[in-house]
Amino acid sequence: MLKKEKIQEILNKHYHQLAEIPLQENIMQEGNLKKFKKGDVTQEIGSYVKFVPLLYKGTLKVLREDENGNEIFLYYLHAGDSCSMAFSCCMMHKKSEVRTKVVEDVELIAIPMRFVDEWMMKYHSWKNFVMKSYDMRMMELIQTIDEIAFLKMDERLMNYLTRKSKAIGANTIYSTHQEIAQDLNASREAVSRLLKKLEKQSILSIGRNKITLLDSLN
């Protein structure tokens, strides 16, 4: 399948809000199809953003890092999503303040940064899409801040696992205790202790580098 045909198929399936024909034609012309493997970093902190991603397969997680190199999880991106942080950096020509890392193999349409602001002026549907992306990510950031400020660690852990399960569309999460601890900015020992507690409560089961939630995704 030709690139343009593939991009049009993706837009029709995952990005109904980008329905303006001239906009779709521009995305088909200027967008590039990219693939990334699990563990890849698609955007590094301190680097300039080169493209805005329109995900159509897989999952990305967005992270912040403190001066000591400790990471903290912010939110997930999956099919039908884009990154508001990337929009902001493109329009303001500034370096990224977040890291985006592949959780499940990702396929996306990469929109070169020079078109992001231009299309805001030309296409109503693109402007609405950007603003809605900002709103969604802002609500997720508020949720993350609320969890850090008001919830106990066991509640934060359970919310994190539930959000990741929904993001990947599966009850089994393949991750080490250390990786979870890094995302929550907690100690591995604390995470392991709480996971064992939740396992005793029959909320989840622990395997080798995997955790299975015993309740449904709903």
Q: Per-residue pLDDT for 218 more than 50?
A: no
Residue 19 has pLDDT above 50, yes or no: yes
For 25-41, the pLDDT digits (tens) are 999 999 999 999 999 99
Look at the alpha carbons of 150, 155, 160, 166 in this order and tell me if their dihedral is positive or negative. Answer: negative
What's the pLDDT at 91? 82
Q: What is the pLDDT of residue 1?
A: 65
- Residue 149 binned pLDDT confidence (cut-offs 50, 70, 90): confident
The answer for residues whose C-beta is within 8 angstroms of residue 183's C-beta and 6 or more apart is 61, 63, 71, 72, 73, 160
Output the pTM of the full model. Answer: 0.82
The answer, yes or no, to whether residue 148 has pLDDT greater than 70, is yes
User: CATH 1.10.10.10 residue ranges in the chain?
Assistant: 153-213
As a whole number, the mean pLDDT across the chain is 92
Is 3-148 assigned to CATH 2.60.120.10?
A: yes
Of the pLDDT bands very low, low, confident and very high (cuts 50, 70, 90), residue 147 is: confident
pLDDT at 217: 47
Q: Where are the alpha helices (DSSP H) in 93-213?
A: 114-122, 124-150, 153-168, 177-184, 188-200
Q: What is the pLDDT of residue 174?
A: 93
Q: What is the pLDDT of residue 22?
A: 96
Give the residue range(s) of CATH 2.60.120.10 domains in the chain: 3-148
User: What number is the average pLDDT over the span 42-50?
Assistant: 93
Q: What is the CATH topology of the domain spanning 153-213?
A: Arc Repressor Mutant, subunit A (1.10.10)
The per-residue pLDDT for range 119-139, each reduced to its tens digit, is 999 999 999 999 999 999 899
pLDDT score of 88: 87
| SS3 track for 75-112 | EEEECCCCCHHHHHHHHHCCECCCEEEEEEEEEEEEEE
In this predicted structure, the answer to whether residue 178 has a pLDDT above a threshold of 90 is yes
pLDDT at 216 over 70: no
Structure letter (DSSP) for residue 213: E
